[in-house]
Amino acid sequence: MTRIRSVDVLLLLIYLCLSHTSPSLGAPTPAQVRAAMKRATDFMMNTVSNRGGFVWKYSLDLEEKYGELKARDSMIWVEPPGTPTVGLMLIEAYKATGDRQYLEYADRVAGALIWGQLPSGGWHYFIDFDMPGLQRYYDTFFSRCWGWQEYLHFYGNGTFDDRTTAAATLFLLSLYDATLDPKYRPPLLKALTFICEAQYPNGAWPQRYPLKNEFAKDGHRDYTSCYTFNDGVISSCIDVLLEAHRALGVDAYRKAARRGMDFYILSQLPRPQAGWAQQYDEDMKPAWGRPFEVNAVCAGQTSQNVSDLMRFYKITGDRRYLEPIPKALDWLDAARFGGEPTGTWTHTCFYELGTNRPVYMRRVGKTYKDIRFVKTYDPKGAYPYGVRVHIDVAALRKAYDRVRELTPAQARAEYEEERRRRGPVINRITARVDYRTTAVDAAEIETLIQSLDERGGWVVDNEVLDVVDFQATPPHVFAGYDTGTYVTRMYRLIGYLGTIRAEVP
């Protein structure tokens, strides 16, 4: 259930009042919008950021800092909605306003990311400007975070998980494309080479690279070498390679992207469970991920792959990408609880191979030292990872029926129009906001402008989980600043500028 924050209630009340009085107030002028954008960005870049980089959440006094987990003062987050997400928005702010200060800030963002680029060419979830102290933080804190297995020890290699490396690469590509500054080209090409080298011959990507382990043979001990769909690993690599081919004209990037698209076809499971798993082993069998990510057919991943395949048809005009969809939709229909939605949710995350029974994980143990997970068919008391999933299969069918009627030429034209409207944006897969949403209501824009605090920031109620035991401990809630909120609201102001005719003051 989505928690309604008190600041959101306040903003709603302001919005409702303004919406009734906006004729007398008048619409915000382009100058007022640009001033608000500049004020918010000056605060974030000059007061909040660390060498041009960002974590996700900050307390009002900026003493508490969180990325996906609690951060050291020396850390910035690469994983969206962190540092590259801000950088991509700054480029759009420059395009909307012509103010080169945004490019100067974007250069500062690039400097932080380039500093933290690994020798291999990829990025870790975060960058730590105090590397000598990092191992101790793993030993004393990260190693206790049992729900975040990817942080239990420092691999030292790059990750594609949660679009981390793809987002940083896309930002450098977009900044190079916008400025043609040659200093961005070497780290950009290094990142693109990393992505291409990490791709398996069958078109898939691992979660992390360079590979640290062979495929696990004894259960789910290691998963980072698996062929991985989960959390946008394969799809984000495809997206950034397509953008790189478009911008740089290197055909190897297009070919690598097509191999990635073909892996979707290769990895579909047979009927009657013709969906997809989150990850696969070297024998192309569904594999365990983290201890609560089962080697099973995954409803959410199947829904996402169906949408991706429709997009691939529109990108390429190749009807092969539509062929897996009908049988995948048939499985999603068969996997619905009782054949009908239950409340607001229709599926669970995992379905057992062979039986198609919903399967869950239960946590056993009391401390991070003895915690383990066991399979169960009972959702009561299950570990709350994908237990309740809502998938509108009818809407997917309707979308598929429409797309399959498009000729290849029509499909490609539709994709180009969608891309023109939205731009090349890669967000964290679990983000609940659309960073490119356009606000066209003058009262709403006025609300955003007026809701900046005296420092130039948007104050929200931040919420972070207890990473040692979030099932037993309430989340930590505190007032502060949120990078995702800043980016979201900046995009709304940018979008509003595009809806009005600006006169240079």
Question: What confidence tens digit (pLDDT) does each residue in 98-130 have?
Answer: 999 999 999 999 999 999 999 999 999 999 999
Record the tokens describing residue 109, joined without a space: 């963002």
Residue 425: per-residue pLDDT: 55
Same domain, 16 and 121: no
Same domain, 314 and 412: yes
Separation of alpha carbons 416 and 409, rounded Å: 11
Lowest mean pLDDT among 171-180, 400-409, 413-422, 450-459: 413-422
Q: Tell whether 372 is covered by a domain.
A: no
Residue 432: per-residue pLDDT: 38
Residue 209: strand pairing partners = 158
Same domain, 417 and 435: no
Which of 424, 449, 482 terminates a domain? The answer is 424
Lowest mean pLDDT among 149-153, 312-316, 344-348, 401-405: 149-153
Band (9; pLDDT cuts 50, 70, 90): very low
Helix (H) or strand (E) holding 260: helix 251-267
Same domain, 327 and 470: no
Mean pLDDT of 345-360: 96
pLDDT of 444 above 90? no
Mean pLDDT of 187-213: 96
Residue 27: per-residue pLDDT: 87
pLDDT of 156 above 70? yes
Residues 6+ apart with CB under 8 A from 373: 291, 292, 361, 362, 363, 364, 383
Residues 6+ apart with CB under 8 A from 413: none
Q: Tell whether 97 is covered by a domain.
A: no
% of the chain with per-residue pLDDT over 70: 87
Q: Tell whether 263 is covered by a domain.
A: yes
Same domain, 250 and 331: yes
Which of 409, 424, 439 terminates a domain? The answer is 424
Q: Tell whether 471 is covered by a domain.
A: yes
Band (344; pLDDT cuts 50, 70, 90): confident
Same domain, 402 and 275: yes
Same domain, 228 and 341: yes
More confident residue, 9 or 33: 33
Mean pLDDT of the chain: 88
Residue with tokens 């200093």: 183
Residue 389: strand pairing partners = 347
Beta strands in 271-426 (DSSP E): 279-280, 297-298, 350-351, 358-364, 372-376
Lowest mean pLDDT among 282-286, 288-292, 295-299, 451-455: 288-292
Which of 382, 407, 424 terminates a domain? The answer is 424
**Core vs surface per residue 185-224: b (16+ CB within 10 A) or e:** eebbbbbbebbbebbeeebbbbbbbbeeeebbeeebebbb
The total number of structural domains in the chain stands at 2
Lowest mean pLDDT among 20-29, 254-263, 285-294, 318-327: 20-29
Lowest mean pLDDT among 136-140, 234-238, 254-258, 283-287: 136-140
Residue 276 belongs to domain with CATH number = 1.50.10.20
Same domain, 303 and 396: yes
Q: Tell whether 103 is covered by a domain.
A: no
Same domain, 167 and 239: yes
Residue 146: per-residue pLDDT: 75
Give the max Cα distance, the chain. 70
Task: Give me the DSSP letters along 264-306.
Answer: HHHHPPPTTS-SB-SEE-TTS-B---STTS-SSEEHHHHHHHH
Residues 6+ apart with CB under 8 A from 471: 363, 383, 384
pLDDT of 136 above 50? yes
What's at 494, amino acid-wise? I
pLDDT of 502 above 50? no
State pLDDT tens for residues 14-52: 444 444 333 335 789 999 999 999 999 999 999 999 999
HSE-up of residue 22 (Cα within 13 Å, Cβ side) = 16
Same domain, 342 and 213: yes
Which phi and psi (to 5°) does residue 383 adopt?
-60, 130
Q: Tell whether 291 is covered by a domain.
A: yes
Give the domain extent around 217: 117-347+391-424
Q: Tell whether 107 is covered by a domain.
A: no
Which phi and psi (to 5°) does residue 461 adopt?
-90, 105
Same domain, 276 and 416: yes
CA distances for 55 relative to 72, 84, 108, angstroms: 10, 11, 15
Same domain, 157 and 41: no
Q: Tell whether 106 is covered by a domain.
A: no
% of the chain with per-residue pLDDT over 90: 73
